[in-house]
């Protein structure tokens, strides 16, 4: 047994601020944005669904996403002890097995809230939690793969949270058109997750993580990420137009053109320019998600 998990190190409950840091609130925004897209894409008025809406926000943000962060930090505690020793677990602020306990408590709370919200939300939550544990925990540890790791994160952060928002509002399985669009944006988000791997190429290579920048090289991985982000949006534009949502299709197309205009600078030096592209091109991507959702929901004629 190592010093990070020895039961004698600490038995008292960690400080709330340390638990909050472990759950990483800054990471809650992307799934909550996708949840909002699901809400508006349903076309259902919010007025009579407030309790379900609040439950969905809790699920997609602090519960499922927060739990995934706790799971990740617990199973990465030995690596973090070397690379980021000031994190709550390796620093000893969350000592003993409290990191694992917090992850288990978050899992159980997520399942309880999802069960109270509805069967389709429960199904999405179960899948999301399985992905969260499988991403970080042995024997699967999907994060070691440049294909499966980003795919799992993209699915849970974008697709399942969009699905949850639409299910919460409709109280049923979302419409087929909604499922198609959320699947396309989830596929495109794989490229965004690949960009996030550029900041840790040396560390990934040293610890055996087979991210796409490690496997393909940074330049080729960046070009692939751009294609993966752009191609599904082209399909979204075509489908929205065919379904009669021409204004929404035009907005998504304009936002896609903006991303394409920004990509050459990204590709000139992917590692240096990825933070800039995330602040610009990725922002246009998520605004396109909202425009598509508004169109599907029939909001203001989109």
Under 8 Å between Cβ of 93 and 15: yes
Domain 18-173, what fold? Answer: Tetracycline Repressor; domain 2 (1.10.357)
Residue 5 has pLDDT above 90, yes or no: no
Q: Is residue 8 very low, low, confident or very high in pLDDT (cuts 50, 70, 90)?
A: very low
pLDDT per residue as tens digits for the range 9-62: 446 789 999 999 999 999 999 999 999 999 999 998 888 788 889 999 999 999
Would you state the pLDDT for residue 144?
Answer: 85
Q: Is 210 helix (H, G, I), strand (E, B) or coil?
A: strand
Residue 280 has pLDDT above 90, yes or no: yes
Interval 261-288 mean pLDDT: 95
Residue 224 has pLDDT above 90, yes or no: yes
Residue 103 has pLDDT above 70, yes or no: yes
Q: How far is CA 211 from the centre of its chain?
A: 17
State both tokens at 145: 């793969």
Would you state the pLDDT for residue 3?
Answer: 52
Q: Is residue 128 very low, low, confident or very high in pLDDT (cuts 50, 70, 90)?
A: very high
Residue 299 has pLDDT above 80, yes or no: no
CA distances, 133 to each of 83, 120, 129, 170, 222 (Å): 22, 20, 6, 28, 28
Interval 232-253 mean pLDDT: 97
| Lowest-pLDDT choice from 21-30, 74-83, 109-118 | 74-83
Under 8 Å between Cβ of 239 and 253: no
Would you state the pLDDT for residue 122?
Answer: 95
State both tokens at 41: 């894409």
Query: Could you tell me which of 34, 26, 98 has the C-alpha nearest to residue 66?
Result: 26
Domain ranges for the chain, please list them.
Answer: 18-173, 204-302
Residue 173 has pLDDT above 50, yes or no: yes
Q: Find all residues with CB under 8 Å of 302, minimum gap 6, and list them.
A: 245, 247, 248, 251, 291, 294, 295
% of the chain at pLDDT higher than 70: 94
Q: Find all residues with CB under 8 Å of 272, minimum gap 6, and list them.
A: none
Q: Is 145 helix (H, G, I), strand (E, B) or coil?
A: strand
Ranges 71-80, 83-92, 248-257, most confident: 248-257
Interval 70-75 mean pLDDT: 95
Interval 52-74 mean pLDDT: 94
Residue 7 has pLDDT above 80, yes or no: no
- Spatial separation of the C-alpha atoms in residues 301 and 133, rounded to whole Å: 41
- Spatial separation of the C-alpha atoms in residues 276 and 69, rounded to whole Å: 24
| Lowest-pLDDT choice from 4-18, 70-84, 135-149, 192-206 | 4-18
């Amino acid at each position: 047994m190592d010093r990070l998990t020895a039961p004698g190190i600490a038995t008292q409950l960690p400080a709330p601020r340390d638990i909050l840091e472990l759950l990483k609130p800054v990471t809650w925004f992307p799934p909550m944005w996708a949840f909002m897209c699901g809400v508006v894409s349903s076309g259902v008025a919010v007025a009579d669904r407030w309790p379900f809406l609040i439950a969905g926000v809790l699920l997609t943000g602090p519960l499922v996403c927060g739990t995934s962060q706790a799971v990740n930090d617990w199973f990465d505690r030995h690596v973090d002890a070397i690379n980021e020793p000031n994190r709550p677990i390796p620093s000893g602020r969350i000592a003993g097995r409290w990191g694992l306990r917090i992850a288990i408590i978050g899992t159980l709370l997520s399942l309880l809230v999802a069960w109270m919200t509805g069967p389709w939300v429960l199904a999405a939550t179960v899948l999301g939690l399985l992905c969260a544990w499988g991403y970080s925990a042995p024997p699967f540890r999907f994060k070691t793969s440049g294909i499966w790791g980003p795919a799992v994160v993209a699915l849970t952060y974008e697709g399942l949270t969009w699905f949850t928002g639409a299910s919460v509002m409709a109280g049923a399985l979302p419409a087929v058109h909604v499922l198609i669009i959320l699947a396309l944006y989830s596929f495109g988000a794989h490229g965004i997750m690949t960009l996030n791997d550029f900041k840790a190429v040396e560390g990934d290579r040293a610890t055996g993580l087979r991210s796409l920048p490690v496997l393909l090289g940074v330049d080729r991985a960046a070009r692939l990420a751009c294609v993966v982000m752009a191609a599904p949006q082209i399909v979204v534009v075509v489908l929205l137009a065919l379904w009669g949502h021409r204004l929404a299709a035009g907005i998504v197309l304009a936002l896609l053109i903006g991303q394409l205009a920004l990509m050459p600078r990204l590709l000139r030096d992917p590692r240096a320019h990825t933070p800039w592209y995330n602040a610009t091109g990725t922002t246009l991507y998520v605004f396109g998600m909202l425009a598509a959702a508004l169109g599907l929901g029939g909001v203001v004629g989109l």
